[in-house]
Structure 1
Amino acid sequence: MKFSVLAAIVPEDLEQSVIDKARDLGAGGITILTGRGISNNSKKTFFGLTYEGSQSVLLMVLEKGLSLEILKAVQQLLTTDKENNSQGVVFSFPLEHLGGIDLSQLEKFERHLKETL
């Protein structure tokens, strides 16, 4: 079984929606980090104060096929309009070595693989 790390960087107000969607599709544990970023757009100001919105960084270790399925679903949540403007970014990368994953989660991944084949 091959694994991927799925990372989603989303505005805090979308955090719970992304978590719910990922869990509904089969994600087990999700690590949540708080972050802030610098975009290529100018920052919003209000009476001379600059507003930089907080972002959540969600990290998930998933079976490779499940990772792609969740990535597509999260991408749909982040796409806000017909022009495909996105409120965040989601990406995955292969995981070479893994230790410490819960055996019940491995069984869940195996069931998912059997269902999709």
Structure 2
Amino acid sequence: MKFSVLVAIVPEDREQDCVDAARDLGAGGITVLSGRGISNAARKTFFGLTYDGSQSVLLMVLEKGLSLDILKAIQKILMPDHTDSQGLVFTLPLEHLGGIDMSQVEKFEQHLKCSLYPENNDETG
């Protein structure tokens, strides 16, 4: 089984939407970090104070096929009108992995079986 890490950098106000979408598609654990981005665009000012905006960084270790589904779901949240992105999402391959909960591996295996053999799925799976 191949794994990848999914990284999503999202505005704080879209964090829960992205987490919910990932969990709905089968993500187990999600690490959430606080961040602050610095872009090449001019910073917004309010009464002489600059505002950079808070961001959340979501990290997920996923089965490779599942990571693409979650990436697409988060991309739809970040680019609802397909023009202006509100964040960034990407995956990286994992070569070595330790410490993952075996129940999560079983969920990934179940996802693979459902993807490869949809005709064998029942109502519980």
Question: Do the two structures share a fold, i.e. TM-score over 0.5?
Answer: yes
- Listed one character per residue, the Cα deviations across residues 46-101 of structure 1 (whole Å, up to 9, x for unaligned) are 1110011110000000000000010001000000425x211000000000000110
Give the length in aligned residue pairs. Answer: 116
Equivalent position of 1:108 in the other structure: 107
Equivalent position of 1:99 in the other structure: 98
Alpha-carbon separation, structure 2, partners of 1:58 and 1:13: 13
Runs of 4+ in 1 over 6 A off after TM superposition: none
Equivalent position of 1:51 in the other structure: 51
Computing the radius of gyration from Cα coordinates, the structure with the larger value is: 2
Name the TM-score, length of structure 2 as normaliser.
Answer: 0.91
Percent of residue pairs bearing the same amino acid type = 75
How big is the alpha-carbon RMSD for the aligned residues of Structure 1 and Structure 2?
0.8
One-letter amino acid matched to 1:99: G
Equivalent position of 1:18 in the other structure: 18
- The unaligned stretches of length 5 or more in structure 2 are 117-125
Q: Alignment partner of 1:98: what SS? A: coil
Contact 1:80 1:87 in 2 (8 A): no
One-letter amino acid matched to 2:79: T
One-letter amino acid matched to 1:76: K
Q: Alignment partner of 2:96: what SS? A: coil
- The unaligned stretches of length 5 or more in structure 1 are none
Alpha-carbon separation, structure 2, partners of 1:73 and 1:9: 14
